[in-house]
Chain A
Amino acid sequence: MSLRPVADRPAIDPRLAALLERAGDRVLVLAPPVDALVAEGRRQRQRRRTTWLVGAAAALLVLLALDVVMGSPGQQTGSPGDPDVAPDGMRLVGVGRAAIAVPDDWGTNRLRCGTPIADTVVLDIGDTPLCRAARPRDVQSVRVLHGSRPVGFQADGTVGIDGEPAERSATACVGGVCRATVYVLSDRAAFTAEGPTREDVDRLLGRVRVLEHRIAVPGYAGVAARSRGASDDAVYADLRDYGLDPRVVLREDPVAEPGTVLALRPAPGAVVAPGTDVQMVVAAGPQAPGDEVAIGVGAVDPERNYTFLSDADVRDGASLTLPEGSDVWAWADGRRAEGMVARKRGESIVIDFWRNGPNWPTAWEAVLPGRTELTFSITVDGRRVDLGTVTVDIVPADWEWSDRESGDGDRGADRAPPWVRGPTPRDMAVGGVG
């Protein structure tokens, strides 16, 4: 993958090529030891098969033991000898042919400000908001990165993974978190495992493999975070290099430069068949003044649990339910960010008068149970253009969340608690975002 045009590439110097040719010609080369090479190739192939057969036998024994204990017929998902098939109870994620098996019950990107807060695989994250988040003691995670070697990675050895060369750093433990990285050179895929012990890290990295007949969709958010934008041309070519079939879909985006790849479908990390269609969602550039600004809303409760709403959430009329004592703030990006104002209807939150705060004057404190609506807008040619409204329900600090939350954590306002009052007629506009 290159972002440089062909014309910029250095030309091959024919004089140097001739010089090397003459020097090379002076090296006597004996006939190739073909039989020995073929024998060695067979031996390596057999060794790989044997490894998988031993694993398969062990898995079969475990399944048989479970049959005896549980009295149920054993089930084997796929062939244990096939690197393209995840072990039972696990799933594969990766980059190109490089993949790792992670438990099915692990989430994806269970992060707070970039820090894992539950067992998770971390895929294709770009810029992350800055805040301090504690990592629970026993959490395990695997970060999958695509591109050049991760920042700070130092290879302490070379290993072979299914016959492909890879680099590995030594496992290091700092602050109760052990960490090591495997970098598969052929697919420019880095797998960083983190866990409470060295054994956890080694076990996690032992599940890295090179797929035979499947491809994992590579991600480009990490690339974009470092290089400020992954252009559609480069991503398109790279996806084709990986044996996938990219298709471009344009989407208006208020912030991203036109041509920036916003998303891939299937999502990065997903393991698919070669030749699979991959939809590239590409920024088409702003089409209307309202598209030239993107809003974000953040909230943190007294127990330091964070919630963030994206621009799409705000425009869809999202809602937040927060306990008293919470803080709410909004920000804007894009060409018209400085013109964004928030209009408040309701009295359950009041403006945070910390004037030196990064989001003043679009920052509020939750002071009373009740409902407040925040409507965000910009002014274009003297006319107000509303972008979206967020409903904020403030509940007493001792309220039982389990009485109200649905299974997926939905904190929607459609089932507001009885003490929530409707918005008052008061309509208070506050200043723009600097």
Chain B
Amino acid sequence: MGTEQEFTEYVGTRWPRMVRTAVLLGCTRAEAEEVVGTALAGCLARWSQVRRAEDREAHVHRALVEAFLAVRRERWPGEFPLEHPLDTGPSLIEGDDVAERELADAVLRGLARLPEHQRIAVVLCHYAGLDELQAATAAGVSLPALEDDLVIGVEALAGDPALAGLGGGA
């Protein structure tokens, strides 16, 4: 399988969850698509390394986290063109179910209250589907540091009164 074909298949399966991961990390939807696009384009440029990487998911998510941090530090590493205009409207959360929208809004606000490193740990482990070692690699921290961030972040969410009444809350 050629590099670009393999990459295309990879993007097709991972794109939605990676964009949502970026949103949970704190991006607007427009930022999330740019962050994920930057990360994936960088990965394609070095696809041989991604292919060789023992843990491809950790490798790709490391690029995602770095692109996210670059946005947060207002040091934008690069841009890439989109085929369609981005939706930069005020509504990040879709759907007509008011309860679900309120839940999503509360979760995003709860995550936003966490320090950045704790939020990264929680989202990578609880949403992106990485295990702790993969998440530590992606976050660029040691495993014990990641575990500490994870424990404290989960405890903070569990104690967040705004999330307390939500179904299946943390």
Question: What residues of chain A have their CB less than 8 Å away from a CB belonging to chain B?
Answer: 1-4, 8-10, 12-13, 15-42, 44-45, 48, 97, 148, 157-158, 160, 162-165, 185-186, 188, 212, 241, 243
Whole-angstrom CA separation of A22 from B49 in the bound complex: 34
A17 and B29 form a contact (CB under 8 A): no
Which residues, 41 to 99 on B, are CB-close (under 8 Å) to A?
A: 41-49, 54, 59, 62-63, 66, 69-70, 73, 75, 77-78, 80-84, 87, 92-95
- Pick from B32, B46, B70: contact of A162, CB under 8 Å: B46
B41 and A40 form a contact (CB under 8 A): yes
Q: Using a Cβ–Cβ cut-off of 8 Å, how many residues does chain B contribute to the interface with A?
A: 77
Which residues of chain B come closer than 8 Å to A188, judged between CB atoms? 140
29 examples of A-B residue contacts, CB within 8 angstroms: A3-B144, A4-B144, A8-B147, A9-B143, A9-B147, A12-B126, A16-B158, A19-B168, A20-B127, A22-B100, A23-B104, A27-B92, A27-B94, A33-B33, A33-B83, A34-B11, A35-B83, A36-B37, A41-B40, A41-B44, A41-B45, A97-B49, A158-B70, A158-B75, A163-B46, A165-B66, A185-B66, A186-B140, A188-B140
Which residues of chain B come closer than 8 Å to A27, judged between CB atoms? 19-20, 23, 29, 32, 92-94, 104
Contact A2 B143, CB 8 Å, known A21-B127, A44-B41? yes
Which residues of chain B come closer than 8 Å to A162, judged between CB atoms? 46
Residue B107 CB within 8 A of the other chain: yes
The 7 A-B residue pairs with the shortest CB-CB distance in the complex, in nearest-first order:
A41-B44, A44-B45, A32-B15, A2-B143, A23-B107, A40-B41, A165-B66
Closest chain B CB from A34 CB (angstroms):
5
A241 and B48 form a contact (CB under 8 A): no
B77 and A158 form a contact (CB under 8 A): yes
CB-nearest residue of chain A relative to B29?
A27
A40 and B16 form a contact (CB under 8 A): no
- Pick from B4, B41, B75, B170: contact of A157, CB under 8 Å: B75
Whole-angstrom CA separation of A163 from B63 in the bound complex: 10
Whole-angstrom CA separation of A133 from B42 in the bound complex: 45
Which residues of chain B come closer than 8 Å to A22, judged between CB atoms? 100, 103-104, 107
Residue B157 CB within 8 A of the other chain: yes
Closest chain A CB from B3 CB (angstroms):
9
Residue B162 CB within 8 A of the other chain: no
Which residues of chain A come closer than 8 Å to B95, judged between CB atoms? 26
- Pick from A16, A17, A37: contact of B41, CB under 8 Å: A37
Residue B154 CB within 8 A of the other chain: yes
Whole-angstrom CA separation of A41 from B48 in the bound complex: 12
A4 and B20 form a contact (CB under 8 A): no
Residue B120 CB within 8 A of the other chain: no
Residue B169 CB within 8 A of the other chain: yes
Which residues, 7 to 37 on B, are CB-close (under 8 Å) to A?
A: 7-8, 11-12, 15-17, 19-21, 23-24, 29, 32-33, 37
B103 and A37 form a contact (CB under 8 A): no
B147 and A10 form a contact (CB under 8 A): yes
A32 and B133 form a contact (CB under 8 A): no
Closest chain A CB from B95 CB (angstroms):
5
- Pick from A1, A20, A212, A243: contact of B143, CB under 8 Å: A1
Whole-angstrom CA separation of A169 from B11 in the bound complex: 34
Which residues of chain A come closer than 8 Å to B17, judged between CB atoms? 24
Whole-angstrom CA separation of A350 from B63 in the bound complex: 64
Closest chain B CB from A357 CB (angstroms):
41
Most buried by B among A28, A32, A37, A212: A37
A26 and B82 form a contact (CB under 8 A): no
Which residues of chain A come closer than 8 Å to B78, judged between CB atoms? 44
B107 and A212 form a contact (CB under 8 A): no
Whole-angstrom CA separation of A19 from B37 in the bound complex: 26
Whole-angstrom CA separation of A10 from B125 in the bound complex: 11
A17 and B37 form a contact (CB under 8 A): no
A36 and B83 form a contact (CB under 8 A): yes
A34 and B143 form a contact (CB under 8 A): no
Contact A16 B80, CB 8 Å, known A22-B104, A185-B62? no
Closest chain B CB from A117 CB (angstroms):
34
A13 and B29 form a contact (CB under 8 A): no
A19 and B8 form a contact (CB under 8 A): no
Which residues of chain B come closer than 8 Å to A29, judged between CB atoms? 15-16, 19-20
Closest chain B CB from A244 CB (angstroms):
12
Which residues of chain B come closer than 8 Å to A212, judged between CB atoms? 48-49
Which residues of chain A come closer than 8 Å to B81, judged between CB atoms? 33, 36, 39-40
CB-nearest residue of chain A relative to B17?
A24
Which residues of chain B come closer than 8 Å to A185, judged between CB atoms? 62, 66, 140
Which residues of chain A come closer than 8 Å to B23, judged between CB atoms? 24, 27
Which residues of chain A come closer than 8 Å to B16, judged between CB atoms? 29
Whole-angstrom CA separation of A186 from B147 in the bound complex: 19
B45 and A48 form a contact (CB under 8 A): yes
B147 and A15 form a contact (CB under 8 A): no
Which residues of chain A come closer than 8 Å to B63, judged between CB atoms? 165
Which residues of chain A come closer than 8 Å to B73, judged between CB atoms? 158
